[in-house]
Amino acid sequence: MTGRPVWPIFIGLAAFVVIADQLTKAWIAATLSPGASMSIVGDNLRLVHGQNNGALFGLFRENAVLFGIISLAVVGLIVAYHGRAGRSPYLSVALGLLLGGALGNMTDRLRLGYVVDFVDAGIGSLRWYTFNVADAAISVAILMLIALAVRPSLGEPRPLAPKTAVGGAGDDG
């Protein structure tokens, strides 16, 4: 890829995800006690105050601090990759979502020792894993990166808009 990366999109989106993630988690913690739930759309969509001290899908429980430290390395890799990615708004969006999600969950792991999860969706006993804003951002980013792998043209750099000269040649003024 060529050109400078699109830092404002990358950083702005990551910041938005972290802020939205931390605000929604704080709201859940203030509204529901751990394990309590609130129905939004019957049993199909509920808010449940969960505390995940493992990784994705609750795997590797009791390792939140270790995953928090690993997250620091992941954050560094995401930023470094974006710095080398070139001028692709698509890739800046995908990596911004990924960075924001990683920072949101890392903040919980290092500050609380667990990640606050709260969205519980499913039909009857068939449930998706309980997740949060950071998890949703990471999931969208992964889907975008898979789409990029299948269709590389999505990540092609976008040229800068040409600057028009005032009173230059070809100006009918």
Residues 42, 45, 46, CA angle at the centre, nearest 5°?
Answer: 90
Contacts of 26 (CB under 8 A, 6+ apart): none
SS3 (DSSP) at 156: coil
Whether 171 sits among the annotated catalytic residues: the reply is: no
Alpha carbon dihedral 37, 57, 155, 157, in 10-degree steps, equals: 70
The one catalytic residue among 21, 108, 117, 120: 117
Are 21 and 104 within 8 A, CB to CB?
yes
- Annotation marks residue 172 as catalytic: no
Which one from 21, 108, 120, 135 is the annotated catalytic residue? 135
**Would you name the residues annotated as active-site residues?**
117, 135
